[in-house]
Structure 1
Amino acid sequence: MVFYFEIDEEHLQKASVSFQEIQDLLPNWDTKITQLYKYENKGFYEVVLLINAQSEAEVKEWLEQYEERSKCSYTVASTRKTTGMKVGFKQFLRCRHNTNYKKGSGDSKRLSRNTNCESRMIVTLRTATRKKYRGKPVNAPDRQYPCEIRLLPCHNHPIGSDEVLGCRPVSKATKQKLANLFDYGHTPSTAMACLKLELQSSRDDYEHALKDRSICPKYQDTLQLFNSRSRGKSETTRELMLGKIREFNEQSPNSAAIEFVGDEYAICLCPPLMKRAHQKSTVASDMVFVDSTETSTHHASKVHVLSTTFECGALPLGVLITSTEGLDLITLAYRMLMELVGESIFGGNPEGPQLFMTDDSAAVQTALQITWQKSSVLLCNAHLLQSWWRWLIKADNAIRQDDQPLLFHDFRDILYARTNCECSTMYELALSRAAQYGNYCVRLRNYWQIKEQWALCFRPQLANGSNPKIDSSVRIIKDRIFGLMKKFNSIQMLDFVYNNFTQYYQKRLLDASTNRPIQNVLSPETTLIPGDILHNIKTLSEDIYWVPSTKNSEVFHVVNGEALDCTCIYKRSLEMLCKHIEWICLYTKPERFHVEISNMELRAKFYFIAEGKYPRQQQLFPERSQSSDNCSTEVITVLVEDEIKDEGDSCNARTNDVIIEEGTEIVKNICTQLTRYLRESPNPALVALKTLESQLQGEFQPLCHKLSNDKTL
């Protein structure tokens, strides 16, 4: 990129503008600025520039870059017809906030963004190559800079405000993303959900991006693009699924598989990240969680997620999608997973882990027992408590609201009883307390018949296997991530799981490898509880809370902190985490969402699972802006000691004056380095200084005293 100014400093001073201001305004193209005009009566300037654009396509590319850089959009006022003899392309543009609105036209959309902005642009692409045309002299354009642009960069509206960003046209890149989602079978609503999820995972300025219409269009824009595309070229569901599986396997061999049984299908997805989780997991050979989620569309497919425990939370080992919950399809999907992963499955244990923890699904449990016969299959406490609480608060079961927490705690006491005798006593007590609820007693008796699968005292092989942190992580991820999938069909599900779901865990692993706080199990907006809400939260019993409504302070929602369930409409209709549950998560145990890991080998393992390669040593340190208290004390001390040793070795065989001079320089360098550490990581640096001081007092001072008294030197 080259900027060449043919105007002098005097012109810039008259226009009250600097070289840097003009340069920052323009895209990174070879540009020659030839003229600058100052409008004294209006207080703004006009600049004439030449750019290295040889065709109409390059001119439009420059315009797109200028709009993206300036955050201002222009519309075409008129296009001049050209013959190509002298001018190949000429166009007049005006600011998008000058709509030529005429009073009484009734166009409210044009009125809403109209500010009569005077910013305009004239683009002329000259093509004349001869000095004379029909005997008359012709000013031939500069062959290197044939395009002339007259720009009036004055705006009477704030640049970069929410209102201006909301009026920008949808960019070509965003349109292409939406078009690809439509090709995968997405509807306008699901395409918008995928686009927002991608923005949330890939951009740090997510809230700002939501306000920019060019990046995150409105629903009307998405619907218009969807209707403008031809639907006659759409393929059948089977062809689309086969095409997606081929695409995934082209990206990563043996990462996806599909089998059809008549009209039914079974799909297995195991991207490279999940394969590396199999390879590096030490817990997967002991315990694996299996969670199932059903979509709510007319395609009604079933999603099964296999996950295991890691120090940074739960990590997926594979995702299975079946058209129905049939035993044959689920068994087929498990066998496909074994073929995709190979010998490294479950940490190098092809015979299966010691224990599978599942939800209350007979088909899933039977399929696991058929596929891995040596593994035990038990019910997961987290899923069981959640389903039990949801049954209690369901209106059809007619359980009084005051009795719901009591009956829930009775069942939990049975679940966590230490001995068989205590468990039986709790069971009889629960039946007597719920004598007025016949449906509850029937449900409890049915579960008591399979108590060996869920009561802890009846399954000694799970003595230390339950992990409350992981149980909560599994439930949160299920509601936060897979809650969005309930409206997806099979094609949309494939694309979502393979790309968005995997990217979510990749970001989570990279956060753990650099020791950043792992908070993204909750929504980005949930950081603090509002003061009026915090003071009015009431504890009904252990893990049961009343949370006031934000709209009406007299209305309270019942939140179960252990089952992560709420009685609000949002949670009960969408089955996703609501803000009341997130507030209780922060209110009760906020430390479980702020996990920090100091083991460097473990963090290197996280990086390998996320990226497929081991990091360089410096990649494991957090970013300076976020590393304040996470820098290792040992690392600082070792760095300082190594510098002392390296510099000290080079001082041999020198005179005393040189030693003093260079020794002083060494100390200055060390002080500079320590000052930087103090500024970046105050607390660890102070600890390192105290350690260094004690070592110097113990070794360096006696050595100096010995050398100074040694008469042989």
Structure 2
Amino acid sequence: MAVLNCMHLTELASVHTELQSYPELSSTLPDGYEYHLCSFSPLEGGFDATVRVALQDEEGATEWLADYQEHSRVTLRVKATKPESGRVNLFKVYYRCHHNTIPRSEKADLRPKSKNTNCPAQLTITVKRNPGKRSQAKVRDPHLPLFATIVHIKHIHNHQIACPDAFKFRDVSKDVIAKFTELYSKGYSPSSALNTHKLDLQLEHENDYLYVSADRAQCPDLQFCHRLYKKMFDKAYGAASGEKMIQDLGASIESYNEEQGLECCKMDQVNGKMVIAVCTPLMRRIHSNHRCSGELVFVDASAGIEKYDCRLFMILTHSVAGGLPLGCLITTSESREAIVAALKLYKQLIPDDGFYGRGDQGPVVFLTDDSDGERQGLQEVFPNSSTILCVFHLLQATWRFLWEGKNSICEEDRPHLLDLVKGMVYADTAEHLEENYDRMNRDAIVKKYSCFLKYAKHLYNRRQLWAVCFRRDLPLGENNVTNYMYVEAAMRILKDQIFRRVRAYNPVQLLDFVLTRLVSYYERSLCDLANGRIDVTISKRYLPGKGRITAEMVNELQFPLFEVQSESEPEKKYQVDMSVAMCTCTAGLNGAPCKHQYAVVEFRKVQSFTFPPIHDEIMRRRLLFLATGQETGDIRRHEDRGNSTQEFRLEDLEAGLHSMAATLTDQMREYPEELAPAVRAFITQFKNLKTHSATVSALMAFGKQHEVAQSFRSSTARRSQKRGSDQGATNHCRSKKQAMSSYW
């Protein structure tokens, strides 16, 4: 056995040369440090060595240990620590190989994947205290103060070090942990983050991926990913359940409301069921300023987006941008009791002019899926609203019934039975619906299945909820289903883009995503539409084109009524009412976008929320207001041509209003018989405008009525004749028009 005794530093010609004489030792030591070899003893299966390192504190020693484990592929665990011993040591720790797990029972070693081998390898690190100028201390330890750290290595591992079986137990590196933390913060799940990391490793290392993926330091196992995920989100979102989670929720809600300066979120508990209602500033703006919010509202629930199976109810209305959110409900149950409690909280959050001025009455129509809890809850909280069923969900439920094994319906009969139900659903009159139901009862195939007869009878008894023929007078805009552009699309957006198909860690994170990511998504969508960036799906549905209709085929009857000539039948004409976005054609009968309405918008430059505002600057600003809350007077319009900028200031608008009032007062004094009754009616109507949205609508429509415009022109002409100046009347009309246009 050869032993190298420690020599005085001055006797060593080269420390590097000395270490190279012992490759089994030097190959394990990390580069970038100054070493002094004190002793070396070869042992069976390894060696025993003592090395001095030029490190003076605990931080440096800890950093060296991390580099040593990375370089030597050895993983160490703390075996024992020694406290500071005053004048001698700053730091002293004993380490063992992690393949010596010190098991608590004999059964632990019997597991197939046990890493315990009772490995005898050890390592000790001691950082000596600098003795200062005490000469006696210098004599005792000539390595001080430069080589203050002593490393004693007993490298006698009873297992292989550089092999896949050993690599799979290594500690995950700090760089990999940082990468996974970043992926989790972006919405990745443990499994999706691990798959992404493996793909990155495969692209980076190519042929060496086989070896890299076996090293747990570079490619962690799924269990570690889950533990890191839980540790990260425990810190960010608190407890996953229990009373602590309820407290964290309350604190989060209070913080958000304080930040917004409004009560946008409320929470309550009903018989152990937690309910949360949300109406953010974006949702409040849509409530007050988007007409469709008072007509048709979609409600649907989604489960499975949070680990403890909370239900998220989306409340939306339709628009050219797809579904727009009016609110969200989060409950721990889909029971009627929980839904009613959540809706009552939600009712307290909506603005006074919510549902486009209808307020507590709610919208005209709620469209839901076939959920008794949803429908009954809506009817209790909003009794003045009609509640109808989504046709898509009804037919989907029928299809599931036909395919259910216990009903024993032959496969070849299922399409025929579904067609019979469709015939009732889409019957154009109540009489036709009854005829189709009678025909169904007499059908030979139907008579084979008593269970289907019973099912069909139950459907028929609820026909008022789902039959299209009973919806003719409702403002549905041809929206008999929720799956096309609105609720189902919103749910897909919620799961794919907001949660990225990853369940929320707990209700606190679920609420946080609703208040941040969900709102941000709709803000971006509205801004894109305001900037003229139109999605292909929206383009196909909301830009039907004007076909072969020309400007001469569109006639204004009395604003907002127009008449559009048919393309194929010149003698046939369609009536279009732009105030309610309806047309007498088949598509536009219930307010759906049609080519006749689009022709009016295109040729008569009428504003409409039914179509994307490609060329309508005013409507684009209104969309921008819904997205950002910026008032019109604060918006600057940038035009590409010449890069000119037009700024709208409140001072200019106030001056324009005063000028208009003065002009109207002069006219009334000059022609009191004509204008006094009109002014009185105007004042009365203005006092009756109770909401902000109603005022906006009235101002938007001012000057567009045919009779009002004609009266204004005639009175102006008479006044100009009395003054003897036709040019004066022209200038006055032009200034009036400019004053109105400057407002928008």
Question: What TM-score does the superposition give when structure 2 sets the normalisation length?
Answer: 0.46
Question: What TM-score does the superposition give when structure 1 sets the normalisation length?
Answer: 0.48
